[in-house]
Amino acid sequence: MAKKIKSKDTVALHSFMQDRRTLFCYSGPLTEDLLTTISSPVRHQLSDKETEEVVAKRVFGVFIEQAQNIIRYSHRKTKATGDSIGTIAISIADDGFLIEAVNVVDPEKKDVLEATLVDLSMKDQKELRELYKKRLREGPPEDSSGAGLGFIEMARRVKKFEFDFVESEDGALFVYRGWVS
Amino acid sequence: MIFEAGQRTPLVELTPTSCLIRGECYPENISEWSEPVLKTLEDCLGNDESEFKVDIELYYFNSSSAKFLFDFFEFLEESAENGKAITINWRYRAEDDTMQEAGEDFEEDVSACSYNMVLVEGDSE
Q: What is the ipTM of this complex?
A: 0.90
Domain assignment of residue B46, yes or no: yes
Q: pLDDT digit string (tens) for A37-77? A: 999 889 888 887 677 888 999 999 999 999 999 999 999 99
B63/A149 CB distance under 8 A: yes
Residue A146 has pLDDT above 50, yes or no: no
Model's pTM, two decimal places? 0.92
Asked if A132 has any chain B CB less than 8 Å from its own CB, the reply is: yes
Answer yes or no: is B52 within a domain: yes
Domain that holds residue A104: 7-180
Residue A17 to residue B11: CA distance in whole angstroms: 38
Block means of pLDDT (10 residues each) for chain B, 125 residues, are: 95 96 95 94 89 96 94 94 96 94 96 96 61
- Strand order from edge to edge, sheet including A22-30: A22-30, A84-93, A96-104, A171-180, A160-168
Burial of A5 (0-12, 13-18, 19+ CB in 10 A): exposed
| Chain A residue with minimum CA distance to B107 | A133
Strands (E), A60-95: 84-93
Better pLDDT: A102 or A50: A102
Would residue B12 count as lying in a domain? yes
In CATH, what number is assigned to the domain containing residue A16? 3.30.565.10
Decide if A54 and B64 are in contact by the 8 Å CB cutoff: no
Of A27, A147, A130, nearest to B104 by C-alpha is: A130
On whether residue B125 sits in a domain, the answer given is: no
pLDDT recorded at residue A1: 61
- Let me know if residue A1 belongs to a domain: no
DSSP letter assigned to residue A79:
T
pLDDT of residue A145: 46
B94 interfacial to chain A (CB closer than 8 Å): no
Residue type, B43: D
Domain count, chain A: 1
Say if B89 falls within a structural domain: yes
Chain A residues with CB inside 8 Å of B25's CB? none
Close Cβ partners of A115 (under 8 Å, ≥ 6 residues apart):
none
**To the nearest whole angstrom, how far is the Cα of B44 from the nearest Cα of chain A?**
25
* Residue pair A137/B109 in contact by the 8 Å Cβ criterion: yes
Check which CATH number belongs to the domain holding B80 and give it: 3.30.750
How far apart, in Å, do the first and last CA atoms of chain B sit? 21
In chain B, positions 35-54, which contact chain A (CB-CB < 8 Å)? none
Strand stretches in chain B, DSSP E: 2-3, 11-15, 18-25, 51-61, 85-93, 114-120
